[in-house]
Amino acid sequence: MTEPAAAGQPVPRAFLRVGGSTLARHQLGLALAMDCQRVICIARGTSPELIALQHAAEDAGLQFYISTGARPLSGLVTASDELVVVSEGLFADPARAAALFDGVAPAVLVQPVEGALAEGFERIDLNRAGAGLLQVPGRLVEQLHELPADCDVPSALMRIALQSGVPMREIPADARGGANWRMVRNEAEAHAVETEWLRERFGAGERMSPGQAVARKGVVAFGSTLLHAGNASNVLSAAVLVALAIAGGLAWFGALSTAFLFGALGAILVEASRLIRSAERQALGQLPPAIPRANVLGWLIDATIGLLILASVTRLFGESLLSWMFPPAMLMMLLALVPRVVAGPVTRFANDRALLCVVLALAAGFGQVEPLVEVLAVVLVVLGMALPLRRKG
């Protein structure tokens, strides 16, 4: 894992970055998805990146070992162990990879040889190439003693497994398509895989509201740069707070149309932070928390929109505080409620706070925020009664 990726490239293949995380960190997520208990890295020595990987593995509850070659590996693996072997440079979707194995049953994953050799996978026979991932009985590790000490351990174990009768299992075409299953050998390939991975994950697909579409296009265009900069989701979350603070300041000085536009920017940044954080979690092999940060920021967006609406509505002489607050409070609660209880394409637009802010900005320019809020509230009530109820899953 500490050998250079290629001549003239000081970065080892294991520590090339895809989606803001090293390939080794992605492979650690694969180990977690396959319920591994220990991680053994083949490396000549330690490095800062390898120590960081060790800390990540131990934080995830795994034991971590470093083996300097093929022969020391036999002292770390017993005959009763099941060994998952991941080739250096493999970038694979953890969920898809784990689903290809039947519990602890041994298997060597293979794929058609066409195209696989050019991508860096190893040929097995005339028609098949290895897929860089296999599960074998631990007893096979003892046969490494018959090979030179500096042999390629993953390749050697694949050959030993096939000679020992471990069955081959071909990866379905959909599982290895796109950026789901790739071999990364240098910086250029890492960047290409990362761009394709982001485009597949966040590109055009299901129907989206305008605000979601803008956020996704931004993530596809700038997500790679943000992820490589580190703490991308934290930066976007901080940007949301800055946008809302500016919106509040503009509202204080009466620039309500511009304030609503900054609210729209904040809503787009919330959606972008949600997408980026999901990419970070996948790279780190983490499950989403009970209450994602983006949800909390979304609630803050709703509160800010409600306050901006109040700033746009003049409180009449003698009007009670409850009467003054009722229209914006009712609108924001209906916007939260209706998508939860009814189904239909219109619910995407009800969830789009960026679109709502743009519409309110136009209304603020004509001094018609209060009538618009009342009309939107009535429309939401009608939709809630007319649309079919959402099925409970």
- Average pLDDT per run of 10 along the chain, which is 393 residues long? 69 84 89 91 87 90 89 87 92 89 89 89 92 93 86 91 93 86 88 84 73 88 75 88 96 95 96 87 69 92 95 87 91 91 82 94 94 93 84 63
C-alpha to C-alpha distance for 44 and 42, rounded to whole angstroms? 7
CATH class of 4-188: alpha beta
Tell me, what's the pLDDT at 234? 87
Q: How far apart are CA 247 and CA 280, in angstroms?
A: 29
DSSP structure string for 174-233: HHHSTTSEEE--SHHHHHHHHHHHHHHHHSS-S---HHHHHHHHHHHHHHHHHHHHS-HH
Report the C-alpha dihedral over residues 133, 134, 139, 141, rounded to 10 degrees. Answer: -30
Residue with tokens 């009768």: 165
Per-residue pLDDT, 44: 83
**Domain spans in the chain, listed from the N-terminal domain onward:** 4-188, 203-386
CB count within 10 Å of CB 121 equals 23
DSSP state of 93: -
Strand, coil or helix: what is 118?
coil
Q: In what order do the strands lie in the sheet with 107-112?
A: 82-86, 128-137, 107-112, 168-170
The single-letter DSSP state of residue 393 is: -
pLDDT of residue 131: 92
pLDDT of the residue at 263: 96
Do 260 and 357 form a contact (C-beta atoms < 8 A)?
yes
Coil, helix or strand at residue 279: helix
Q: What is the pLDDT of residue 204?
A: 59
